[in-house]
Amino acid sequence: MTTESGNPDTLDSFDELIACPGCDLLHHRQSLQLGELARCERCNDIVQTRKESTVDRSLAAVLAGIILMLLSLSLPFLSLSRAGVSSEISVLDAVSALWLSDMRWLGFVTLAFIVMLPLARLALLGWVLWRIRFDRKIRSGMRTAFRWAIRLEPWAMADIFMVGVVVSLVKISTLANLHVGLAFWSLLALVAVSVYLNLALCKDTVWACIIRRP
């Protein structure tokens, strides 16, 4: 379905306008049916969607992601053994090792992109979705929280970290015996949950709930 372009001078509120992510053309918000989407009349990019049970499914994914993140920090990530000598390391141990080896900036960046930013994004999304799901009063801070959750999405790089880990494991496996721990599988599951969250979350539906509810 294609929307019609809107003129802000004819509207009571800018909240009833939506900008195309491709060309920034302003459109009126449409009343969509479940599974329906609206496209820009100029560039044909998707400007509005309505996904089924988006709040419930997204909230479940957020809660699962937080649990998996906490498990990945508290459980062993990897164990190495060679010539009878073995060692075990967690994600936080790796960050600590970088910090103590005069690579503090690398340790801080690793902690930020692998732990702090993904956890912050999940916490912000969880707070917004929880209040919407359980009919809590909409607060002014919810707009800011959801906006920051969207902005943090490209900077939450647990998936990039896992790609680097897998490549490193392939190289190290020729030098020592490797055993991946539960934290490895927790982070791998977190990547899958993050993909599902991106597919289940309908940002426009959440915005509409924040804007239109008292």
Three-class SS state of 26: strand
Q: What number of other Cβ atoms are within 10 A of residue 205's Cβ?
A: 19
Task: Please give the pLDDT value at position 212.
Answer: 66
- Residues 167 and 170: their CA atoms lie apart, in Å, by 5
- Residues 91 and 68: their CA atoms lie apart, in Å, by 13
Task: Please give the pLDDT value at position 60.
Answer: 95
**The pTM is what?**
0.75
Task: Please give the pLDDT value at position 59.
Answer: 94
CA atoms within 13 A on the CB side of 214: 0
Give the pLDDT confidence of 56-112 residue by residue, as tens digits: 999 999 999 999 999 988 888 877 766 666 677 777 887 888 788 878 888 888 888
* Mean pLDDT, 10 residues at a time, the chain of 214 residues: 42 65 76 75 78 89 93 82 70 80 82 87 93 78 89 78 72 71 86 89 83 62
- Residues 192 and 166: their CA atoms lie apart, in Å, by 15
The CA radius of gyration of the chain, in Å to the nearest whole number, is 22
Task: Please give the pLDDT value at position 14.
Answer: 62
Task: Please give the pLDDT value at position 11.
Answer: 41
Task: Please give the pLDDT value at position 2.
Answer: 40
Between the alpha carbon of residue 23 and those of residues 19, 28, 41, 44, 46, the distances in Å are 8, 15, 10, 10, 11
Domain ranges of the chain: 8-49, 54-212
